[in-house]
Each structure stands twice: as structure tokens, then as C-alpha cells.
Homo-oligomer: A and B are copies of this chain.
Amino acid sequence: MDGERPPSAAPRAEAAPETVARVRVIYGDTDAMGIVYYGNYMRFLEVGRVEHLRALGKAYAEIEALGYQIPVAEVRLKYLRPARYDDVVEVRTRAEASRAAIRFDYRLVRTADGELLAKGFTRHACVDSARGRAVRLPAVLAELFAARTDPAKERNASACDR
């Protein structure tokens, strides 16, 4: 249940684009320890990936309208420093897709002081809503991430043009 998650992603500069969504912590996010409840970060991650998808060009609602869902299959999150009431937290999100899964990576940063509060990832299956089972990513989704997560390919392409 433990092994570190993948080498994944590109070590090079052309990595998947990062988007930034902001959430302001309300009392409803906090708990009696005076900090954001660990479970409520899952809401922040959702805001991050929803805005990431929107930035890529497909609102999640559109993906559903196409007949697909991408439920969370796994989450891993490390809590490094507590977030507190009224903090503005930036959810910096990247995504990459394989044949049958999408992985979002998150870094949560407090705007005021730039502190890294938490980092982790979610892994998602792609489900055909009508058939109710996991399927390979349809072209419309694969392309959404491919164009972005493999800019190396793009560069090669443009290199050929010269």
C-alpha cells in the first residue's frame, strides 16, 4: 500500500502546464484544532482539477455530457503545514493521462507567504456512464491531455517544419 508513486511526468522543462485556482478558507473548512480539517482539502483538490480541466478546454460538465465520468480511484496527500481560517490557498494543478487513467498532481501554497501547505495526487479512472464500467480514455479526452502533457512531441513536430 506504500511504494512511492511514479517517476511519472517529465523531468524536463516541457512538463504539463500548471494551473492555479484559489480558495479562501472559511470556518466550514476548519476544525477544532484551529486548522483546515484534513478531509476538507479534498474539496480544494476538486476545485484545482475542475479549473484545470476548464483551462484545458473542457469543463467537467462537458465531459459528462459526452457520456463519461472520471471518478477518483486513489488519493494521496501529504500535509506539510496547516492552513488556517481566512488563508487564501492556491491549488496548483498539473495533469497527465495514460491509456486508461488520468493523474492530477497538486501543490497547495498559501498566497500570503508562499508556504507549501500540502502536496499529492489523485488518480482517476475513465468510466463510460451508459455502460457503467471503466474504459480506455476516449480520443476527446486523450487529446485534451496529450497535446499538453507531451509538448516534446509538439516540439519535434515543429522542429521537422524547419
Copies in the complex: 4
Answer whether residue A141 sits at the interface, using C-beta atoms and an 8 A cutoff: no
For this complex, into which size category does the number of interface residues on chain A fall? 35 or more
Bound-state CA distance A105–B1 (Å) is 9
A57 CB–B CB distance under 8 Å: no
Partner of A71, one of B24, B26, B79, B84: B79
Best-surrounded residue of A27, A41, A88, A121 (most CB of chain B within 10 A): A27
What string of 1s and 0s marks CB contacts (under 8 Å) between A11-47 and chain B? 0000000000111101110111111011111110011
Q: B1 touching A23 by the CB < 8 A rule? A: yes
Q: Which one of B24, B39, B75 lies within 8 Å of A28 (CB-CB)?
A: B39
Q: A32-B32, A77-B74 are known contacts. Are A43 and B47 too (CB-CB below 8 A)?
A: no
Judge if A58 is at the interface, Cβ distance under 8 Å.
no
- List the 7 shortest-distance A-B pairs measured between CB atoms, nearest first: A39-B42, A30-B32, A38-B72, A76-B76, A28-B43, A27-B31, A1-B23
